[in-house]
Amino acid sequence: MRKLSMQELNRHSVESFKDVEKFPVVLVLDNIRSLNNVGSAFRTGDAFKVEKICLCGITGKPPHRDINKTALGATDSVSWEHYQSTESAVDALIEVGYKVIAIEQTENAIPLHEFDIETSEKYAFVFGNEVFGVEDTVLKKCEASLEIPQFGTKHSLNISVSIGIILWNYVKVVL
């Protein structure tokens, strides 16, 4: 066994990636404090060809050294928009036909493995603040909430891990 070279991976350039058809999925970052988490969202968003990332409220925006450290250039390849509030981002996405789904532990949360992705739909997944989760006012606007089942002593995953799990779950269905 040997590792593949960068040339063998056949990755897009930033310029060609911008013209590639993206999956109809948007990441909504609800007041994310950690700039490293924001950078990771960009990098993972690039890996899974998301349409864009909505950076909401206090969520940091590129260019920033700490975002760039984990994004590894993905801030140049992934489209993004900033919204003053997460509610305004969610309203805009609903208006253009996205199913908005919170990634949150709620009383009626759907376990991720029981969530049926409809391949004809566009999705926006909302990821909440590292301490407070998705804002209650935002939850009220969401069509559903998904919970990633966990079996240890902790009650949450890092947002960057959650984004990877959610996007892989989505992409493996729509491929």
Hey, CA dihedral for 139, 60, 79, 157, is it positive or negative? negative
Crossing angle of helices 159-174 and 35-47, rounded to 10°? 10
- Give the model's pLDDT for residue 6: 87
- Per-residue tokens: 69: 């450290």
Structure confidence by residue, pLDDT tens digits, 50-87: 999 999 999 999 999 999 999 999 999 999 999 999 99
User: What's the CA gap between 116 and 108, in Å, rounded?
Assistant: 15
- Rounded to whole angstroms, how far apart are CA atoms 125 and 102? 6
- Tell me the whole-structure pTM to 2 decimals: 0.97
**Structure confidence at residue 116 (pLDDT):** 97
Average pLDDT, the chain: 97
